[in-house]
Structure 1
Amino acid sequence: MRRDPADAAPVVFDVPRSGAEYPRWFAASAPLDLIQKSISSYVEALYRDVTDAGATWLYACFPNVVVDPNRHEADIDPDQLNGMWHEELNPSEKTKAGMGLFPHVVSNQALHAGKLTLEDARRRLSEYYLPYHEELARILRMAKESAGVAYHLSCHSMGATPPATAKDAGVRRSDFDLGDRNGTTCEPGLVDSVAACLRRQGYTVTVNKHFVGAEAVRRHGDPRNSFHSLQIEMNRSLYMNEKTREVSENFQQVKSDMTVLAREVVDYARSRSR
């Protein structure tokens, strides 16, 4: 789903991992309440009004348990398929933990009773993953052609604290963690502008601490050619109860603050446009 502003700046806010529209053919052995926990709930709503600031809003309606747009298309565990894949695979540590392109573990439970068929896997790529990335790339190309530069903010949410298996388990994460893959996906000015705006609004901000940025910014960020991509991870405790999964009384304030952030990024982008 895409929302376009009346006077578009070369800025796109994309929300790739908050979808909850399951395909009719999707089948899982895990309970729905556990599956839903893997979704970055409400992020699309928090950023929905960025169009009021002049930014484009792009949202993947499909759940990341169908196929994860924030994973590389070769990030597949060959053991989860019922046959040989047509290209070389490169499973990451996330995939080995069950959280790859085709997730197969949710809340330490198996997502599917058996292996994925090759037909099923290809359908997830061709009908969901690739069209989403192609549309995001198209919007960024058009922005670059028009303004000479394109800015991409990939919007996500993170748990308030790391999982129990992490070294820093139990320690509250920052309100926002910005990821540019250690300075490789966008110019420093974009990071500084976003961080400064969030801090002015009273939030704590870290950079490349909890999440350095995954496939969305890696795939679309190319600062040498004026494509700048930054991942934004928001602490879920700011706007929702992680146990009940209901929005908190602070939700509307956070939503308003994200529109302020969009205005900051749009102003920054227009100052850098030709």
Structure 2
Amino acid sequence: MNSTIGLRLRNALDSDFAYLFFRSPVAIVSAIVVLVLILAAIFAPLIAPQDPFNPVELNLMNGFTPPGTPNAFTGESFWLGTDDQGRDVFSTILHGMRISLFVGVSAVTFALVLGVTLGLLAGYVGGWTDTIIMRVADVQLTFPAILVAMLIFGIAKGITPVEYRDQMAIWVLILAIGLSDWVQFARVVRGATLVEKGREYVQAAQLIGRRPSAIMLRHILPNVLSPVLVIATISLALAIIAEATLSFLGVGAPPTQPSLGTLIRIGQGFLFSGEWWILLFPSLTLLALALSVNLLGDWLRDALNPRLK
């Protein structure tokens, strides 16, 4: 068992993919930053000095404490300072990243599944199915993705009962971002499916009587996943930014479950009164997360592009 795992690990390290990765300083640094931020978000309850969303742990006397400076009333000191409610900014960032990453990953997963499914159907079935799916995609592309997300969020939140809106806000946000982001997956998969369905192995599967669903899932899908994974990586950064934008505008994560976007919106209100740290540190965290994921996606796109090898 251990020898098998060791052999697979050696093969992975000796692969062209690993060779390209270790020769790219940008990819290495980006991967380290992404890994550190993801682990910090996952283990936030263990790392964070306090639970910033538990009123029992908060002390209003600690409000507006500058970074690394003892509070004048309580004598407590905080690495990144506190906000107006006495919440440790470092703790709010760790917990806020959990919301941002959860929304981003879930939205991209939803968009990927929806887009790949519709792209496979459009490319393989063709006819009216292809026409309807692609025309809907073309219409959606005429609008900015953030406006589509705001529209879907507003409609979904409007039909949600008032007493469940805060509880369902995160899921509505995932739905809104996912529905605004499926088009690029569908278009790429449709184009690749049109190429693959003319190959001999697909024709052979048709001749022996394989069902269309089996052909799409077992034969065509594995051969169109490479560009999909690249798009998913880049889309993750865009989804995180979209979530932060919606939350900053006040139509995203609720105040009871603030994400990085919500923290930035809160900090923006205190920027000109001198409490700069409430805005600065969540903004830098969002920038580091989105930029690192985006750079990693750019490297992955180049690494999987056969024309650049």
TM-score (norm 2): 0.22
Going by fraction, where is strand more abundant, 1 or 2?
A: 1
TM-score (norm 1): 0.24
Going by fraction, where is helix more abundant, 1 or 2?
A: 2
